[in-house]
Amino acid sequence: MSGPRPLLRPPTSPAPGARVLVLLCHPALHRSRVNRRLAQALVGLPGVTVHDLYDAWPDFDVGVAHEQALLDAHAHVVFQHPFYWYSAPALLKQWLDLVLEAGWAYGAGGTALRGKTLTSAISTGGAQAAYQPEGHHHHTLEELLTPFSTTARLCGMRWRTPFVVHGTHKLDEAGLQEAAGRYRAMIAALVGEP
């Protein structure tokens, strides 16, 4: 295929006064309890653009120029997804591989992301106690998120403490509500950060 690929869906445009770009990455959002609820909690927040990656690029043919333009327009970037095999759903890896180009995101002349912040907002089936050196998963989440925090640093971005919802299998309605409120407050605070 030559030239820029056509978008399958209407492109996500930056929200008015765009500050925070939430890259939502869930392969089956219609079946999600947690991430769908978290994303819904952001509806109406000024300055926040929620971009559903599986909806935009279901065939994994990520439109690099579109994604780079979205990144350009925001100061803060959030990867929101369920924790899958101690990492992210596959499309986020594809997004990283394609969008963070040498000479744009890193390397000689690669300064596009410098000064922005990056964080993860993730949900885990495992309980908080399981993500400890002595716990079931043997590592803390911060340790397991090292590929993301290190990517941020390579691109000159500031890595922020991740937002985490633990123990999703046992989360009841009150827990979901609490998590959604906490997430909305965290993202709203990010909007106001320089």
Ligand X SMILES: Cc1cc2nc3c(=O)[nH]c(=O)nc-3n(C[C@H](O)[C@H](O)[C@H](O)COP(=O)(O)O)c2cc1C
* Contact range with ligand X by CB under 6 A, out of 9-17, 101-109, 119-127, 153-161: 119-127
Task: Give min distance, CB of 113 to ligand X, in A.
Answer: 27
What residues pair up with 78 in beta bridges, in sequence order? 22, 119
Decide if 128 contacts 65 (C-beta within 8 A). no
Would the CA dihedral through 190, 163, 146, 61 be positive or negative?
negative
Name which of 135 and 156 has its Cβ closer to ligand X.
135
Which of 5, 64, 84, 112 touches ligand X by CB under 6 A?
84
For ligand X, the binding residue among 20, 22, 35, 39 (CB under 6 A) is: 35
d(CA 20, CA 16): 11
Q: Which is nearer to ligand X, 110 or 125 (CB)?
A: 125
Non-local (6+) Cβ contacts of 54 within 8 A are 25, 26, 27, 29, 89, 91
Q: By the criterion CB under 6 A, which residues form the site for ligand X?
A: 26, 32-35, 82-86, 123-126, 168
